[in-house]
Amino acid sequence: MSNSLALRCAAVLGASGVALGAFGAHGLRGMVSEPEKIAAWESASRYQLVHAAALLALSATGRRSLHTPLLWTAGTVMFSGSIYLLVLSRDRFRALGPVTPLGGLLMIAGWLSLLAP
């Protein structure tokens, strides 16, 4: 993945993370009353924003890496995206339950891929 594509992924993840975090803080409370669901939403948006910032930082280093930004982007979409959908409708999106930990593993793999030369 080129640095410009990593920058674009950072921009999309960052903008949508802020929007989804704001929705979680304001709009979601009218739809969901369970505190654990609101906490899960907050965690999903936090992880999304952290990985958007990490992608931005990586793109600024000039280091060309295919694996790290790809793993972070895919992992964030899978991890945070599945949590958002499960919070909104657990019954409808129940099949996405296993996607959440897989996304987390991809994010971890992305961090570990920074160790490669």
Q: What is residue 1's predicted lDDT score, i.e. its pLDDT?
A: 61
The mean per-residue pLDDT over the stretch 80-94 comes to: 95
pLDDT at 30 over 90: no
pLDDT digits (tens, 9 = 90+) for 3-20: 888 999 999 999 999 999
Only one residue has tokens 């594509």, namely 5
Residue 72 to residue 104: CA distance in whole angstroms = 9
pLDDT digits (tens, 9 = 90+) for 43-83: 999 999 999 999 999 999 887 788 999 999 999 999 999 99
The mean per-residue pLDDT over the stretch 93-108 comes to: 96
Q: With CA atoms as reference, report the closest residue to 72 among 26, 117, 108.
A: 108
Q: What is residue 63's predicted lDDT score, i.e. its pLDDT?
A: 79
Please tell me the pTM assigned to this model. Answer: 0.92
Q: With CA atoms as reference, report the closest residue to 26 among 11, 15, 12, 42.
A: 42
Q: Are 29 and 41 in contact (CB under 8 A)?
A: no
